[in-house]
Amino acid sequence: MNRVPILGIPIDKLTKEQFLKKLDDLMAERHPQQIATVNAEFLVETQKDAGFRAVLQQSSLNTADGIGVLWAAKYLSLPLWNVWVVRIWILIFQLIWSGLLIIFYPKHIRSVIPQKISGSEAIWWIAEHAEKKSCSIFLLGGFNNTAEIVSKKLKEKYPLLNVAGAYAGTPVQQGIVERINKVKPDILLVAYGQVVQEKWIAKNLQNLAVSMAIGVGGTFDYIAGIKPYAPQFLRSIGLEWLHRLFTQPFRWKRVVNAVITFPWYIMRHRLQILKPYRKNVAACILNEKNEILLCRRKIETREDFYTLGKEHWQLPQGGVDAGEEETEALVREVREETGLKHIEVIGELLNTHSYQWPITMARGWAKIYRGQVQSLYFIKFHSDHDKITLDNDEFDEYKWVSKNELINEIHPVRKKIAETIVKNFDRFVKN
């Protein structure tokens, strides 16, 4: 397996050489691709921000940016006994033991993910590779003239590098996509800061005339000399965070996330993934125009906002109770959530999709299950027999969307099931 899941996010197991080969492979596909350099802070944020979690789950490549991610991959691979009381002590022992290995035996930590690939390292590799391959790059982000300074620094080392553009801009500024498309770079490097830059790339990717877009965080500031690099010996043993804490004390919350919150989430996640998946049924309900019903989840609490996200449009769905057949659960859930009493199933895809719940979702079924495995049912709705009456405890609005609109209208965390619907639509639905 070339990817290892960490807190539900797939991380690619790559060396520098494999990373550069993967860049060539992605560029050969000739459609925009997103690459993310994922650090421990990213993974913590994915457990709180549903939109960001969806971005990283769908990106073409996620590299391990930081020793913490390499450690997590190793820690999650360690064996665990089945006796629950013993498990806790083993978890704690392995946490301490593997943490010490970061300093005293770093090679062992790299046995799952072989190499750390951060934005600050990758930008130099990309520049060298782009020069050799005669590819152009565009530098976006930073403050004031930082991007222009970075352009000069890169060209000092790689004189034949084609820098198609260097521009600061802001994530909310209009016209940036048009500016980039005007020069048609092969590779876009975005330095708007973590999370913000990944969301900006995901939002604009399909409109960008580039082969790939990569978030590089604060890399521009380091190259431009605005922020100091951590000494090499600290970077080699994964203690960059200690250097940042002393040189940038205002970032203490981010350090806490990376050094304390992240290991705590990983240890909890290790127990979470030992739980079974809950069976779930999802209904693709179609009207006479073959439009698909989407319902908007009610957002009532702060936890709802973080785990679901704003404007959470989804299919009607629900869990299968103990001793219940999936078709029985389908009829019950559709009736409870939409008020429909006449179910005409025109197609089914059993166990087509699974997903894990974020570690911060510690309520309801998440206490028993790790996530859900879904079966998808295509259902015909006849307005002369039924009408939509939403369950007001769960949904507050509904709408009908076409097959072509579905992926853009459904919440990003539901994208995989939407893609399954689009892929199988003509198989079950006749015009």
pLDDT digits (tens, 9 = 90+) for 256-273: 888 899 999 999 999 888
Query: Which whole number is the average pLDDT over 242-262?
Result: 74
Query: Which whole number is the average pLDDT over 377-386?
Result: 87
pLDDT of res. 395: 93
Q: How confident is the model at residue 1 (pLDDT cuts 50, 70, 90)?
A: low
pLDDT of res. 234: 62
pLDDT digits (tens, 9 = 90+) for 32-88: 999 999 999 999 999 988 889 999 999 999 999 988 999 999 999 988 776 566 677
Contact 341, 331 (CB under 8 A): no
Cα 160 from Cα 287, distance rounded (Å): 58
For the chain, what percent of residues have pLDDT higher than 90?
62
Inside any domain, residue 88: no
Inside any domain, residue 194: yes
Same domain, 120 and 200: yes
Q: Is the pLDDT of residue 106 over 70?
A: yes
Same domain, 237 and 333: no
* Domain stops at, among 240, 270, 300: 270
Nearest residue to 395 via CA among 343, 342, 334: 334
- Exposure class string for 294-310: b at 16+ Cβ within 10 A, else e: bbbbbbeeeebebbbbe
pLDDT of res. 185: 96
- Which tokens go with 367? 């206490």
- Exposure class string for 393-411: b at 16+ Cβ within 10 A, else e: eebeebebbebeebbebbb
Q: How many domains does the chain have?
A: 2
Inside any domain, residue 421: yes
pLDDT of res. 258: 81
Q: Is the pLDDT of residue 387 over 80?
A: yes
- Alpha-carbon distance values, 18 to 24, 56, 307, 320 (Å): 10, 20, 34, 43
- Which tokens go with 93? 């022992």
pLDDT of res. 352: 93
pLDDT of res. 237: 61
Q: Is the pLDDT of residue 348 over 80?
A: yes
Same domain, 234 and 367: no
* Domain stops at, among 233, 248, 270: 270
Cα 266 from Cα 76, distance rounded (Å): 8
Q: Is the pLDDT of residue 238 over 70?
A: no
pLDDT of res. 217: 87
pLDDT of res. 235: 65
Cα 410 from Cα 240, distance rounded (Å): 39
Cα 279 from Cα 126, distance rounded (Å): 44
- Which tokens go with 36? 């993310």
Same domain, 305 and 221: no
Higher local confidence (pLDDT), 313 or 108: 313
Q: What kind and span of H or E run contains 254?
A: helix 252-256
Inside any domain, residue 128: yes
Same domain, 72 and 141: yes
Same domain, 304 and 404: yes
Nearest residue to 352 via CA among 284, 402, 288, 276: 284
Inside any domain, residue 383: yes
Query: Which whole number is the average pLDDT over 246-259?
Result: 73
Q: How confident is the model at residue 307 (pLDDT cuts 50, 70, 90)?
A: low
Query: What is the DSSP annotation of 65-114?
Result: -SHHHHHHHHHHHS---S-HHHHHHHHHHHHHHHHHHHHH-HHHHTTTS-
Distance of CA 101 to the CA centre of its chain: 28
- Alpha-carbon distance values, 248 to 23, 254, 274 (Å): 33, 11, 39
Inside any domain, residue 406: yes
Q: Is the pLDDT of residue 211 over 90?
A: yes
3-state secondary structure of 336: helix
3-state secondary structure of 192: coil
Q: Is the pLDDT of residue 391 over 70?
A: yes
Same domain, 262 and 351: no
Q: Is the pLDDT of residue 308 over 70?
A: no
Contact 284, 314 (CB under 8 A): no
Cα 112 from Cα 4, distance rounded (Å): 8
Same domain, 259 and 309: no
Query: Which whole number is the average pLDDT over 17-29?
Result: 93
Same domain, 332 and 366: yes
* Domain stops at, among 270, 298, 329: 270
Same domain, 8 and 44: yes
Per the structure, the complete domain to which residue 373 belongs is given by 277-428
Contact 34, 43 (CB under 8 A): no
Same domain, 246 and 349: no
Inside any domain, residue 29: yes
Q: Is the pLDDT of residue 309 over 80?
A: no
pLDDT digits (tens, 9 = 90+) for 147-198: 999 999 999 999 999 999 999 989 999 999 999 999 999 999 999 999 999 9
Inside any domain, residue 101: no
Nearest residue to 281 via CA among 363, 361, 343, 359: 343
pLDDT of res. 301: 58
Phi, psi of 79 (to 5 degrees): -70, 155
Average model confidence (pLDDT) across the chain: 88
Q: Is the pLDDT of residue 229 over 70?
A: no
Q: How confident is the model at residue 303 (pLDDT cuts 50, 70, 90)?
A: low
DSSP 78: S
Same domain, 246 and 389: no
Q: How many helices (H) and strands (E) are present in the chain, helices listed first?
A: 19, 15
Contact 357, 278 (CB under 8 A): no
Q: Which amino acid is at 349?
A: L
Query: Which whole number is the average pLDDT over 333-345?
Result: 91
For the chain, what percent of residues have pLDDT higher than 70?
90
Instruction: Report the CATH number at residue 360.
Output: 3.90.79.10
pLDDT of res. 287: 93
Cα 412 from Cα 314, distance rounded (Å): 10
